[in-house]
Structure 1
Amino acid sequence: MLDARIVITEQEHKEFVRAYFKEGLDGPLSVFPRKEKRKIAILKQLIQRFDPQRKYAEKEVNEVLGNAFHDYVTLRRNLIEYGFLDRYPDGSCYWVKPALYCPTEEGTG
């Protein structure tokens, strides 16, 4: 879950996204950061690649995330752990958690 103590300014978000998505917002992620603020900024950007109005099979989630980064399992796990995505207990269906889907000016969502 997101911690209320972690606040990311719009300027920080832009800097982090620019640094990690070197080919643009729809391009691949160069590396998945370890630092919390950077990780959250990247996850906020990645969630924009999903339609908040639909549900996804695990294979579809993997495909979307795989287009962003080779380790899509880590991305998927982090999106769930930080509360951006939710899923059925058996992993058969995923969806964007509405409270955390906040399209950015630059986002694709």
Structure 2
Amino acid sequence: MSLDRDRVLRTFLTDGRLVSMPARAGKRRILLEHIATRFEPGVRYPESEVNIMLRAIYPADWVALRRYLVDEGLLDRADGWYWRSGGYVEV
């Protein structure tokens, strides 16, 4: 993990929960890529399950978090289903 990435995650996450959304796009991207790793590649998730997962991370505005993930190309959606479509994959 790079020092910058580690610093961003420490700043904006506490006990796995998002404390605030970074205003700067670069920091936000680092954070969103980290959150996207919670979604397994190749698995389709119903919107209700995505909402539960994201509400646990950012109860203040999980809907905005979901929108950010889609807008950044990390999640894709169709007909109420979501799947991981970008970001890095740890092996």
TM-score by length of 2: 0.89
- For residues 59 and 34 of structure 1, the distance between their equivalents in structure 2, rounded to whole angstroms, comes to 27
SS of 1:34 mapped into structure 2 = coil
Question: How many pairs does the alignment contain?
Answer: 90
User: Aligned residue for 1:101?
Assistant: 88
Unaligned 5+ segments in structure 2 are: none
What corresponds to 1:3 in structure 2? none
Higher helix share: 2
What amino acid maps onto 1:86 in structure 2? Answer: D
Which sections of structure 1, spanning at least 5 residues, go unmatched?
1-8, 104-108
Deviation of the 1:50 alpha carbon: 1.1
Letter in 1 for 2:64: T
User: What is the DSSP-based 3-state SS (H/G/I as helix, E as strand, rest coil) of the residue aligned with 1:100?
Assistant: coil
Task: Return the TM-score normalized by structure 1.
Answer: 0.75
The 8 Å contact of residues 52 and 101 in structure 1, kept in 2 or not, is answered as no
Kindly report the root-mean-square deviation, in angstroms, between the aligned alpha carbons of the 2 structures. 1.7
Would the aligned equivalents of 1:86 and 1:94 in 2 still touch at CA under 8 Å? yes
1:51 Cα deviation after fit: 1.3
